[in-house]
Structure 1
Amino acid sequence: MKLKSSYLANFLSLLFPQLCPACGNELVTHEKVICTDCHYNLPLTNFHLQADNIVARQFWGKINLEGAYALYYFSKGGKVQNLMHHFKYKGMQQIGNVLGNIAGLQLATNPRFASIDYIIPVPLHKSRLKERGYNQSACFAYGLAEKLNSTVEENNLIRTRATETQTHRSRFERFENMQEVFAVKNLEKLKGKHVLLVDDIVTTGSTLEACAIPLLQIEGLKLSIATIAYAE
């Protein structure tokens, strides 16, 4: 039976080859979602080894963080952009879980991220969630949780209103666009907890900062941040 299944899988791969969403090359047997070459050669930041990394410095003087992290560097036209495009717009939710596992293994070696109680994804507005069908940040969060032995708290931080895309806005416009957009439903549950706030890409940090403001008003809460990619 296993032999027949293997033959069937090989036959189907000839008709409908699975491609790596980062580089476009065909995946071979035992490669899962991302090809081996991309798995080892995508531009890792290694920010888990640097307490004062670029992402952390973006929030200095704005919000108090235990740690800040991004898995990859993002560049226009690069493989990480290809990966994120398939993740956000082509329905490849499994990318989030795979990248969350990779990031989780890195963060598990860092004492600053060792005591995470809850992982909270940046929420989508219900209209955007209905349109896309899933929250890409939540997919990443569940992958992280598997390696950090933590719990995803998906519906506590909510987006109170829809906002326009941030893509072509200046740093100040992004900040203004995100004012008073997020709120916390159950404050008691997060009292005294270490929360890891996660998003897909960090650029200016305005969305993460807007999320952090209501979270940091909770008594005793410690906050860290993790994203899939950092874009300058």
Structure 2
Amino acid sequence: MKAVSYLYDFFALFFPRTCHGCGETLISGEHCICTFCQFHLPFARLTREKENKFTEIFWGRVPIETGAPLFYFQKGGKVQHLIHRFKYKGFREIGHYLGVLHGNDLKESPYYQGLHMVIPVPLHPAKLRKRGFNQSEIFAGGLAESLNIPLVTDGLLRIIPTSTQTRKTRFRRWENVESVFHIPDPLVFKNKNILLVDDVVTTGSTLEACSQRLLQIEDARVWLATIAITA
């Protein structure tokens, strides 16, 4: 182990890794975000509350089990900076690391036990080609790694782009959920406890639509997790 540590220090000397939050050089044991930045991030800390500010968004809309974000999102804040670097600058390691952080918190909560799989909110193929990756899938991968459960990326597919959906009323979006999201093999989700994952939640309409589609499967149950919720 000492040899590995020395090797890490050697490479860090010539190829220093920097914090995605502040730009300072990371020290041994730090990953993506330095200890100082991480300490000052606005963690939501809602995983110990089954009913919370996040789940209130979905009351009367879709019967989820519970859900929690990792952070509160504020315009111009550190979380927005990190998400921007992750989604638009291509630093995928940020999303994966945040997923691991959130997963470490979820597995200590009594409300997230017995999960069978992690499902990212899907992107439409055209948007996926344009961006090059699904940010929710990267975040979900970190969650799955931490929780030690499978990441399922091909079980829920988006077949209508977001822009088309936003022109419809909320009732019409709900009514046409089967035409928006396709499940190739419903047996994958039968009798399963599903952790559905997205990046930032504002209105919750996408998570609502995905949850409605998954809950059409026999005895499927849905939990939610996101990087952030708008404050």
Report if TM-score (shorter chain) is over 0.5: yes
Percent identity reads 43
CA distance in 2, matches of 1:144, 1:5: 26
Residue matched to 1:129: 128
> Which digits, 9 at most, give the CA deviation of each residue in 1:142-199, with x for residues without a partner?
1111121211111110001222399xx89x9788678532221111111110000000
Residue matched to 1:156: 155
Contact 2:9-2:28 within 8 A present in 1 as well: no
**CA positional deviation for 1:12:** 3.0
- Structure 2 unaligned segments of length 5 or more: list them: none
> Using a 3 Å threshold, how does the CA distance of structure 1 residues 203 and 174 change in structure 2: closer, same or farther?
farther
Residue matched to 2:195: 196
Contact 1:175-1:207 within 8 A present in 2 as well: no
CA distance in 1, matches of 2:40, 2:164: 30
Contact 1:192-1:221 within 8 A present in 2 as well: yes
- Structure 1 unaligned segments of length 5 or more: list them: none
CA distance in 1, matches of 2:182, 2:91: 29
- The alignment status of 1:52 with 2:55, answered yes or no, reads no
**CA positional deviation for 1:214:** 0.9
- The alignment status of 1:76 with 2:75, answered yes or no, reads yes
Give SS of 2:157's match: strand
| TM-score of the two chains, using structure 2 as the length reference | 0.88
**Quick one: which amino acid aligns to residue 35 of structure 1?**
C
CA distance in 1, matches of 2:56, 2:228: 15
**CA positional deviation for 1:50:** 1.4
**Quick one: which amino acid aligns to residue 207 of structure 2?**
L
Residue matched to 2:66: 67
| TM-score of the two chains, using structure 1 as the length reference | 0.88
- Of 10, 13, 16, which residue of structure 2 is paired with 1:10? 13
Contact 1:140-1:200 within 8 A present in 2 as well: yes
Give SS of 1:34's match: coil
**CA positional deviation for 1:92:** 0.7
CA distance in 2, matches of 1:174, 1:219: 24
Residue matched to 1:208: 207
Contact 2:64-2:211 within 8 A present in 1 as well: no
> Which digits, 9 at most, give the CA deviation of each residue in 1:203-222, with x for residues without a partner?
11011001111101000001
> Which digits, 9 at most, give the CA deviation of each residue in 1:52-94, with x for residues without a partner?
2111011011111111110000000000000000010111111
**CA positional deviation for 1:30:** 3.5
**CA positional deviation for 1:49:** 1.4
CA distance in 2, matches of 1:197, 1:59: 14
